[in-house]
Structure 1
């Protein structure tokens, strides 16, 4: 009964309504004349059969006025076993099947342990479902439950026809009969560590020096002395936590830093302890999250707040448990400037660092060399990450390039190249490697990935930095920027839905359905 104080006496006692159960006792083994072989807590009897319950112990034995341990053997049970027989002043012969007193026995047990029984019959125990089943199926039994709360108040409940089934039926509570007693009022709904009163100074962990209730309140469940209300539970004072000078309550075992995170308060056993060496590192920020102020990793950094490192790409973030697609900060290993924002696509195995996206034509992609070098647009919408960043990204690891495309008819396709790398500024951010192709973005009649492999080893070319292999300025003619050769088999940075046709629109030659005026593009990287 989880609503009771742990220190209560909780005993379930069974007796026969018409003939009360009495105490059992132990047979004498070997030499019946050896009086020393009889333990003082057992009583000798001379009948050949064992009593079936504590009521029959009282009927069959002498000296049965004392509560204690006795042997019984219910019908159907293979061997006799010990039980605790309770003899009260008003009645005797109660067979105790369960008792809780001080929490010395662990009751969170498995099926087998509850089947066989556990604990100590003289203190805390569960008799065992097998034994209780045999007991309650041989006669009509009365169940009595005695309860004492944390204030010493005693209550009882009696059910006049208690029976459980066997193991096949999962020891089903088959019958209870009619109820009598006084345990069906206030204590049945007071939670653990609470009592029932109408005049008390109820204190809370948040306001330990103020009373929440007065003697004018109606009868309620309240916390006893030295217990405090925490949310809806009563807990000892030390479990409340610690109060800081700012009026902040730190839970037991919790932490909270001062205003500039130069010290960290730790709550242990209801007392504050200060770590004077506490400080935030370069990748950390002092702020409040979830009502706790301390050093936290900056967005995109990985760690526990005490030691944070910046992710080098979205794969690092995914491996660290950041599995939601969105905007994060990364810093490639050779990047000497501040960390920068990228969009991490966590689909298809996660960890894809997006460096180009076209969605609706809201961003003008006809930009100059400097703008393409730095990057433009918004990480979570239309964007070009920047050639300088892309170089440092592809320099640190071997990357797979994924190109996602939706043609003008709305059909999705993709292309993957398993070793994508570009050169530095001196090489004009040359397309150095692509690797092997896989995907659905080419028709069967064309070489795999030819829409992009055609541009391999070409420098990045723009209207103000003509690096293509042709005689004309492909970037100017296509209103775009790309790794042009003479001029292109693909161009994902051209005008969105260009009115003048395929030569100046987003295109990917050999794309099934339609290879120009493409509706959606996304280019992303993940370590191979």
Structure 2
């Protein structure tokens, strides 16, 4: 804590530049060197100005205005801001204990090596004298799924970083912390058709979209996540008449890329919809540019302009093979405006021969038990 740099003042550069070049440079130098010396402490006997401010940031401004300022006391309880013309290095006996007070000092003799570093947003910088750069980057620790985030005390629905086993870089997901006990990791979400789901193999592999809105998490992450634990899958969709249909499955996993991200799903556990996902069990993933179906005569991914666990099946009428079925459930289809039942709605996902339309879809997973 003693070496933590106060970065609060960086955003105030525009205000500082109202003075002369020399004044601005001095203010900038001070802002870069203000450090938190200690908490519940204050420097006594060297106050040159004292007033009430709304925050430590505002108090820091008072220091910038005083050429002789070397430290500040800011009490978070009383909001008192003291500007001092001395510091604890030259006056250690004047440091007193004061509840709620924070002592900030301008340390001219210390340059924090972590002030300007090249650590990623997933790493924390730590000063290290033995390092050529003066610091080391240590990877932060992340939970493996939203269930662990929930168990860790984060119980509000929203976007979080997670890092499943084997995933090199943490990924952002939406965690549903309210539904069915919380801890559900959303792997697919569509709410308004604003995101194009007509993507190639690579996009479906790595994922696309925004976890705050519409997105596909990515087959590679889904594979690694669903192979670290056993997961339930919950699917819910809303149609053009605002009717919600849902289904819960006892097991859900996706194989690796070498096995074409093949789907393994258990028989439907509960729900108010027919178990159409069972039709896709054991089926590899396909896209328009990677036809992995069991019949090379017809490319469902190309026809549907999407990515899914497509399975071809011909419908026979009499002695004639009349038509081909690619799916019984397909939630990544293109949103379009040709469904007869849309009745003024802009877009929907056509199902049941495009006579029925879905306006919202959501797929999420949670560890069993």
TM-score (normalizing by structure 2): 0.60
Q: Which has the larger radius of gyration?
A: 1
Q: Tell me how far apart the structure 2 counterparts of residues 404 and 246 of structure 1 sit (CA, whole Å).
A: 57
Shift of the 497–284 alpha-carbon distance from structure 1 to 2, 3 Å rule, reads same
Q: Tell me how far apart the structure 1 counterparts of residues 304 and 365 of structure 2 sit (CA, whole Å).
A: 26
Q: How many residues align?
A: 256
1:340 paired with 2:171, answer: yes
1:521 paired with 2:347, answer: no
> Which of 139, 145, 161 in structure 2 is aligned with 1:313?
145
**Per-residue Cα deviation, 1:373-423 (whole angstroms, up to 9, x for no partner):** 111111111111111111111110000111121111112222111100111
After superposition, where does 1:490-509 map in structure 2 within 5 Å? Answer: 490-499=329-338, 506-507=349-350
> Which of 225, 229, 243 in structure 2 is aligned with 1:397?
229
Greater share of residues in helix: 2
Q: Tell me how far apart the structure 2 counterparts of residues 233 and 454 of structure 1 sit (CA, whole Å).
A: 65
Is the contact made by 2:186 and 2:363 (CA closer than 8 Å) also made in structure 1?
A: yes
Is the contact made by 1:421 and 1:431 (CA closer than 8 Å) also made in structure 2?
A: yes
Is the contact made by 1:490 and 1:509 (CA closer than 8 Å) also made in structure 2?
A: no
1:422 paired with 2:254, answer: yes
Q: Tell me how far apart the structure 1 counterparts of residues 223 and 355 of structure 2 sit (CA, whole Å).
A: 28
After superposition, where does 1:141-152 map in structure 2 within 5 Å? Answer: none
Secondary structure at 1:518 match in 2: strand
Q: Once the 2 structures are TM-superposed, how far is the Cα of residue 239 of structure 1 from its aligned partner?
A: 2.1
Higher relative contact order (CA closer than 8 Å, sequence separation 6+): 2
- Gapped runs of 5+ residues in structure 1? 1-203, 214-227, 248-256, 263-279, 288-297, 302-307, 443-448
1:458 paired with 2:289, answer: no
Q: Tell me how far apart the structure 2 counterparts of residues 477 and 402 of structure 1 sit (CA, whole Å).
A: 27
Secondary structure at 1:365 match in 2: coil
Aligned to 1:411: 243
Q: Once the 2 structures are TM-superposed, how far is the Cα of residue 363 of structure 1 from its aligned partner?
A: 1.1
Is the contact made by 1:401 and 1:523 (CA closer than 8 Å) also made in structure 2?
A: yes
After superposition, where does 1:15-414 map in structure 2 within 5 Å? Answer: 205=42, 208-210=45-47, 230=75, 231-232=77-78, 237-240=96-99, 243-246=103-106, 259-260=112-113, 284-285=123-124, 309-335=141-167, 337-348=168-179, 349-414=181-246
Taking only aligned residues, the RMSD between alpha carbons, in angstroms, comes to: 3.8
Is the contact made by 1:494 and 1:505 (CA closer than 8 Å) also made in structure 2?
A: no
- Gapped runs of 5+ residues in structure 2? 1-40, 51-72, 81-94, 127-137, 313-325, 342-346
Is the contact made by 1:332 and 1:392 (CA closer than 8 Å) also made in structure 2?
A: yes
> Which of 448, 467, 470 in structure 1 is aligned with 2:292?
467
Q: Once the 2 structures are TM-superposed, how far is the Cα of residue 243 of structure 1 from its aligned partner?
A: 2.9
Shift of the 259–475 alpha-carbon distance from structure 1 to 2, 3 Å rule, reads same
Is the contact made by 1:407 and 1:515 (CA closer than 8 Å) also made in structure 2?
A: no
Q: Tell me how far apart the structure 1 counterparts of residues 111 and 362 of structure 2 sit (CA, whole Å).
A: 45
Is the contact made by 1:497 and 1:517 (CA closer than 8 Å) also made in structure 2?
A: no
